[in-house]
Amino acid sequence: MAPPREPWSLLLLALFLCPCFLNVASVDIEKCEELRLGQYICDTPKISDITQEPENCTNNTAFVPCMPAPGITCKNDSGIVNTFSGREVGFYKPFPCRNVTGYSYKVAVALSLFLGWLGADRFYLGYPALGLLKFCTVGFCGIGSLIDFVFISVQIVGPADGSNYIIDYYGARLTRLTIDNDTYRKRQTDM
């Protein structure tokens, strides 16, 4: 005969094991934004024909909808756990975009190449004083026109309002890399 078990010991065992199972189940479910590559697919951003940047760009960020893969279970921002079929939007991923106000890169380069000696490029970009100076000196005798053409071509000189050029979205655009005190520098080791 088996010895009779006390009801309080079974209750104590059940209270001990239940939180452990609940804790294991809740740890495995991650936020939808933290899914790894391959566990979700994002739509491509809708590009505006006028600005050649993603639509709804605010503060240099646009958001694109992302759908978790079929069978993926994750938590949304409010903590609700969902299992996705691959067609529902699980989260919105931030996507970088640039501030543009209407200055075309192609027009600026063409003006600099053909009418730079008259200062038309500087007038177009919003630098009227430099444009007038180039006009009066015939582009600083051609040297200033050549320098401006190079600077505009490599996008060192941009619009005066601080915005970026309108460049074809899949075109040749340059991104400046900056180094400041917060930049991590990897030390080189001697061989």
pLDDT class of 65 with cuts at 50, 70, 90: very high
- Cα–Cα dist 20/178, whole Å: 49
pLDDT class of 22 with cuts at 50, 70, 90: very low
- Per DSSP, 115 falls in state H
The one-letter amino acid code at 63 reads: F
- Strands (E) across the chain are located at 40-42, 61-68, 73-75, 81-83, 91-96, 100-104, 164-166
Report H helices in 57-191. Answer: 105-115, 120-125, 128-136, 138-141, 143-153
Query: Dihedrals φ, ψ of 54, to 5°?
Result: -60, 145
pTM: 0.65
Over range 137-164, report the average pLDDT. 94
Residues 6+ apart with CB under 8 A from 64: 42, 43, 44, 45, 54, 92, 93, 95
Over range 38-55, report the average pLDDT. 91
Over range 149-175, report the average pLDDT. 88
- Predicted pLDDT at 19: 46
